[in-house]
Structure 1
Amino acid sequence: MHPHLQPTKTIQKKEPVTGKIALPAFNPDHVLNMTDSTGMIQHALRNMPNRKEGYCTDDNSRALLLTVLAWKQVRHPEMLKLMSVYLSFIHYMQMEDGYFHNFMHYNKQIVIDGGSEDAYGRTIMALGYLVADGPSPLTIKTAEDIFLKAAPHMDKLISLRGIANSLIGLCMFIGSHHPQDEHLNRATQLADKLVHEYRRYSDKDWHWFEEVLTYDNAMIPLALLHAYQIARQEEYLHTALEAICFLESKVFRDGVLYPVGNNGWCSKGGTTALFDQQPLDVMAMVLFYQQAFHITGDKKFLARGIRSWQWFMGENALEQPLYDKDTGGCSDGLHPDRVNENQGAESTIAFWIAYFAVSEMLDR
């Protein structure tokens, strides 16, 4: 177990937050366990890396984002080494035209499948954070080069989550002293696409960007909060806050977070699937509340961010923790009758990103 790197923090009850909140010590053991010299391995068999599943750009980009947040807050020495591994993986997976392959077999053979807009967006997001908060000029310049080579593909995105993640990364990039008109125009165009879809699908009973709530939902209104921060267009803020209120009506039950289950999702006019709940959705909620608290200063967002994070620690439908304090890993989700025993890359990274988001809110 790593030494306690961060003081315990507490928050008094404001909204229905149970008791006081104490953050565990940062423990990157399982992140290190899942990473080799090539990158982060996608999946785990319990807490053992499942090398048969290979690597993906999705998870290495999320892992890169985690290292940026961890280095910024706790200066953990392993983070710089991991940052280099993940950034190198992303560079290797970038195609000549700037787009990214997503999958690589364990034998380092790239899967030629055209890539994924989700993976592209998550990579742009991670690179944007690295440009904004990177540890050294050389690392930042490398991230800039990869980012700028990939940037033109933003104009052709169709996937809402690809657009949202890209927009977050672009706003971070712009905020780090890159306010050229080209970047600002691209950001507002992406934000306007999200607002357009919101208007298209919303009615008096449904306030969302599409006809179904699926995965990573809160990332979409989160992107509009980032766009509002750089463009100051009130419609972006209004849409984001209205959408999150609607999402909250679907996922909070008696103060406990029930992320939309991927065993059926939540369709317009239908019911909301309770299981299988996934850590990625909880991370998105926490990130939204972090940004909303940052922009508005309203402590209700702090309370809701903490309440969402408690899902990992056992305040969930099964009243069982997903975070494993012995390994530093996080289970892959909640089934109707049990916690998933596997501690894959996506879930563990989602936990630690949410952890650093809550930590940053408590520091304010």
Structure 2
Amino acid sequence: MRVAYISTYPPRECGLATFNEDLVNALSLNPSYDSKKSFVVALNGSEDLNEHDYPNEVKFIIRQQVQQDYIEAADFINNSEVDACIIEHEFGIYGGDSGVFLLSLANRLKKPFVTILHTVLKEPNFMQQTIIKEIALKSSKIVVMSQKALLFLTSIYEVPKSAITLIEHGVPDIEPTLNNQIAQSELFKNKKILFTFGLISRNKGLETVIKALPAIVVNHPDVLYVVLGNTHPGVIKHNGEEYRESLKALAEQLGVSNNIVFINNFVSQAELHQYLTACHLYITPYLNEAQITSGTLSYAVGAGAAVISTPYWHAEELLAENRGQLFDFKDDVQLSKIINELLSNEAKRQTLKQNAFQYGLNLRWPAIGNIYLKTLEGALIRQKTPDKAIPTILDVENMPLLNLSHIALLTDNTGIIQHARFGIANFKEGYCIDDNSRALILMLMLYKQDKSQISLKLMPVYLGFLQYMQTSDGYFRNFLSFNRNYLDEVGSEDSFGRTIWSLGYLICCSPNNSYREFGKELLSHSVTHFKNLKHLRGIANSLIGVCYYLSAHPGDERFVVEADHLAASLIRAFKNCKDEEWHWFEDSLTYDNAILPLSLLHYYE
């Protein structure tokens, strides 16, 4: 069997890269596998082909945001001697909107392929759902790693159950060592070790464990919380070590800085196994349920660790039947009680460890690799019976490339010019806050989609314009002449609302914390004007902005009250205007009509 693997790959530091390397190694243990003619197609996060020093098995590199690379990768695979392919799917590693560029490769492949879904979303947007449906149509088999993922695929994405195979996440085939150097190290010696590992980012919920430490230290002063792992590269790029430093500050504030240590390192599997077997308790304190697969959790169970976790989807399945203990999301009080009990009850802790270890024997990579090999063999058998050509849902290759040249032409160091004649900027008519707000939203969307450096460059221009147009009382002017003279003292309610929309979206989707805080400052200064809005479109635009803000700060009661007030105004207008034959907010259709129901949809969400 000769296989092409399409995924990230070490030395790139990410969970999929490690998984892919483990899968390659597992399949290579089988006598029917041809290592010499199998290869990896690796995904790079930048446009630099030399970003990583890959090993010899990597024969082709795809730059994430270069669509032509996906097309050429498909041709490279088609012209190779491989029998089948494995595509590992995670929305974030592929280019285009929600990773749509992958379809350029999948739709051109002439070899049968199996797709491993590392993420299956419960509430996908239209593009995400369409991409998964397209991949499922073209794949010989879809592999998921949990029952929950299988349920979502059949019920939400309408993928037939017969097209799906459940293969649990593999774990290293390593036995506990008698001479555990980590356990004997000065750091671990005479300590009760709580342990978490993996790439660090805010969704990991490490602050919950730190908040639990004071109540644990009272009963177990020798406890030490060890956090092993580098900060996620994406977090480093945009926010540096802000999260790690905030965790250290929290520990200092709570008086437990001596009971926590950060090891900023990416260790080998053998060394990681020693950490897992040396710790007293392993903790995954993720913040919400939407984690369909966790490689770190699988590794911990495979190593026979006593695991405590929040009840995210994978944890609920993997830790069932007393293979671990669960605590509620963000509940540091409950966590501290569970930890205190397990550190005091050796028999109960050993039972968890033994149950996890026994289950983990079935997850070791040699056994998992054999299941994948059989799945690939089944794909080859099905390939020999040609089906009718499957129509493409999304023809990505025929989509026009996004071109920002006209926007760049209209933008100077003040903002975007509001009008053009024959494609030439009309400086006589100057700038308006409406268009700069729209431009800011567009740049944020572009950066969210493909990390566009052009959008990152233009963002502060439009944001600076918004700040320049804000009055001392927090309202916004609308028009500015080319020579930077204000043309009005008070802008329209429509332009005010669009500005609030852009600021809310910025706070929700900012590429860095500096822009987010800047946006919060402008938005907070303008809140007092919400109650005075009379025109429905100004109200609706403002409501959308407030809803985006609340998606990032759901507990901000001040903005919850403002959202309720704005929504009530729209609902009241609808009830006052509707009758048996007319279901609308006004007695006629004018402009920006869709904004009105859109705002209430945002509010409902």
Range class of TM-score, shorter chain: 0.5 to 0.7
Residue in 1 that maps onto 2:446: 70
Distance 2:428 2:581 in 1: 45
SS at match of 2:508: helix
Equivalent residue letter for 2:438: R
Shift of 1:24: 1.9
- Choose the corresponding residue for 1:27, options 403, 406, 421: 403
1:109 matches 2:485: yes
Equivalent residue letter for 1:149: H
Distance 2:523 2:394 in 1: 41
Extract unaligned runs of 5+ from structure 2. 1-64, 68-94, 105-126, 135-392
Query: 1:261-302: per-residue Cα shift (whole Å, max 9, x none)?
Result: xxxxxxxxxxxxxxxxxxxxxxxxxxxxxxxxxxxxxxxxxx
Shift of 1:3: 6.9
Shift of 1:178: 4.7
1:55 matches 2:431: yes
Shift of 1:30: 0.9
- Choose the corresponding residue for 2:470, options 91, 94, 104: 94
Mark the CA change 1:78 to 1:87 in structure 2 (over 3 Å): closer, same or farther: same
Distance 1:177 1:183 in 2: 9
CA contact (8 A) 1:3 1:25 kept: no
Residue in 1 that maps onto 2:595: 219
CA contact (8 A) 1:54 1:106 kept: yes
What are the equivalent positions in structure 2 for 1:333-352 lying under 5 Å apart? none
1:137 matches 2:513: yes
CA contact (8 A) 1:128 1:147 kept: yes
Structure ranking higher in helix proportion: 1
Equivalent residue letter for 1:104: L
- Choose the corresponding residue for 2:575, options 188, 192, 199: 199
Residue in 2 that maps onto 1:79: 455
Distance 1:61 1:227 in 2: 21
Distance 1:167 1:200 in 2: 20
Residue in 2 that maps onto 1:42: 418
For this pair of structures, how many residues does the alignment match?
A: 223
Residue in 2 that maps onto 1:127: 503
Residue in 2 that maps onto 1:334: none
Residue in 2 that maps onto 1:171: 547
Extract unaligned runs of 5+ from structure 1. 13-18, 230-364
Shift of 1:115: 1.0
Equivalent residue letter for 1:203: D
What are the equivalent positions in structure 2 for 1:217-256 lying under 5 Å apart? 217-229=593-605
Residue in 2 that maps onto 1:340: none
Shift of 1:166: 0.3
> How many percent of aligned residue pairs carry the same amino acid?
42
Distance 2:599 2:400 in 1: 29
Residue in 1 that maps onto 2:557: 181
Equivalent residue letter for 1:120: F
Equivalent residue letter for 2:504: G
SS at match of 1:213: coil
Residue in 1 that maps onto 2:533: 157
Q: Which moved more, 1:53-62 or 1:173-182?
A: 173-182
Query: 1:188-222: per-residue Cα shift (whole Å, max 9, x none)?
Result: 11111101100111111111100111111111100
Tell me the TM-score normalised to structure 2 length: 0.35
Equivalent residue letter for 1:98: G
Distance 1:131 1:194 in 2: 24
Quick check: which has more Rg, 1 or 2? 2
Residue in 2 that maps onto 1:345: none
Shift of 1:20: 5.7
Equivalent residue letter for 1:227: Y
Distance 1:106 1:34 in 2: 12
SS at match of 1:85: helix
SS at match of 1:185: helix
SS at match of 2:581: coil
Residue in 2 that maps onto 1:262: none
Residue in 2 that maps onto 1:236: none
Query: 1:54-81: per-residue Cα shift (whole Å, max 9, x none)?
Result: 0000000010111111110111101111
Query: 1:216-254: per-residue Cα shift (whole Å, max 9, x none)?
Result: 11111000011111xxxxxxxxxxxxxxxxxxxxxxxxx
Equivalent residue letter for 2:450: V
Specify which structure has the bigger relative contact order, considering alpha-carbon pairs within 8 angstroms and separated by 6 or more residues: 1
Distance 1:185 1:228 in 2: 14
Distance 1:214 1:115 in 2: 20
Distance 1:137 1:20 in 2: 35
Distance 1:143 1:114 in 2: 20
Shift of 1:113: 4.0
CA contact (8 A) 1:102 1:115 kept: yes
Equivalent residue letter for 2:429: E
SS at match of 1:129: helix
Distance 1:114 1:137 in 2: 30
